[in-house]
Copies of this chain bind each other. A is one copy, B any other.
Amino acid sequence: MTPPLQIEAMGSFFVGGRTVVVEGEPLRAIEMSRDVPAYTFDPNGTYAIDHAHVSYVIPVGASRVPVVFAHGGGMTGACWETTPDGRPGWLTSFLRAGWSCFVVDSVAVGRSGWCHLPGLSYGEPILRSEQECWTTFRIGPEEGYGARTAFPGSAFPVDALSALARQMAPRFITTSELAFAALQAAVEKIGRCVLIGHSQGGGFAARVASAMPGAVLATVLLEPHSLPARAVGPQLLVMGDNIERSEITAQLAPLWAHYRTTGPQVDVMDLPSLGQRGNSHAMMADLNSEAVSALIREWIEKTLTEAA
């Protein structure tokens, strides 16, 4: 039987963003519900926008710096909670290993809310279909979607494709700089930490590591994109299987190869070469997620020990 998790504290806070004042907008008549008479909504006023929500869980006796999780584009912090097929997510495996965990919902997704004010809209969002999850997340070939025929040896739980699609949130394509700023604000608030970023969140994590080298002690980049010009501090690039079989990751592979050469310590974790085969782009969702989590924790421990 798994021993209980001993938790010292859990909760959440908001970081970053700004306050704006909306003025001169017309009132709007609203019929809210059966029991509340129609009321007049006044869009004018003072609003908090562009912030990010951070939830945290602190295990008893956590003696090391915390880990901060930055999800990928079009996803939310939910991707770390539980796998699409219902197994405990990396949040639980890191907590069980004694790490304090901070999970960011980036600007405009998840519990961060999003801005929809006159003249301050983030524009038109895009949403991922199951088909786009299937191909972009490198679960299988495009023609395999209908019959759920994944790449041979795929580690993704294909019956849970629809649950993976539910982890997707509308994605604004105008919020990258806001998301970077909010992740930086999160690290400013949390202090010295390890950053783990997935996909677009990996790009933000690498940029924050460049901007705050004293605070970010190690950075784990899960198939990242939008990387900065130079890698700062110890970093780990983690790649799954079948990289060449997706248009996007095939394009990213040479950028990753170049990125390795831009910093004093950029380690590479090529999962297939370590015996972890079939990983999709969503390696925290795959059937071997626990084994991948353990490999990453091992690198973090080793890296922090060497730096100490």
A contact residues vs B (CB 8 Å cutoff): 4-14, 17, 19, 22, 28, 30-37, 39, 41-48, 51, 53, 55, 57, 60, 73, 76-78, 81-82, 86, 88-89, 91-92, 105, 109-111, 113-117, 124-127, 129-132, 162-163, 165-170, 173, 176, 200, 203, 225-227, 248, 251-252, 255
Contacts and interface: CB of A to CB of B under 8 A. Distances in A.
A43 B110 CA distance: 21
Contact of A166 (B14, B55, B131): B14
A185 to B, nearest CB: 12
9 contacts: A5-B7, A6-B6, A11-B86, A28-B126, A33-B203, A47-B165, A48-B130, A105-B111, A110-B111
Contacts of A44: 129
B9 A6 contact: no
A81 to B, nearest CB: 4
A55 B36 CA distance: 30
Interface of A is mostly: mixed
Contact of A113 (B36, B53, B88, B168): B168
B60 A4 contact: yes
A25 to B, nearest CB: 11
A227 B227 CA distance: 51
A32 B227 CA distance: 13
Contacts of A14: 163, 166-167
Given A116-B127, A166-B17, A226-B35, A12 B173 contact: no
A88 B163 CA distance: 31
A94 to B, nearest CB: 12
Given A11-B82, A17-B166, A162-B48, A111 B111 contact: yes
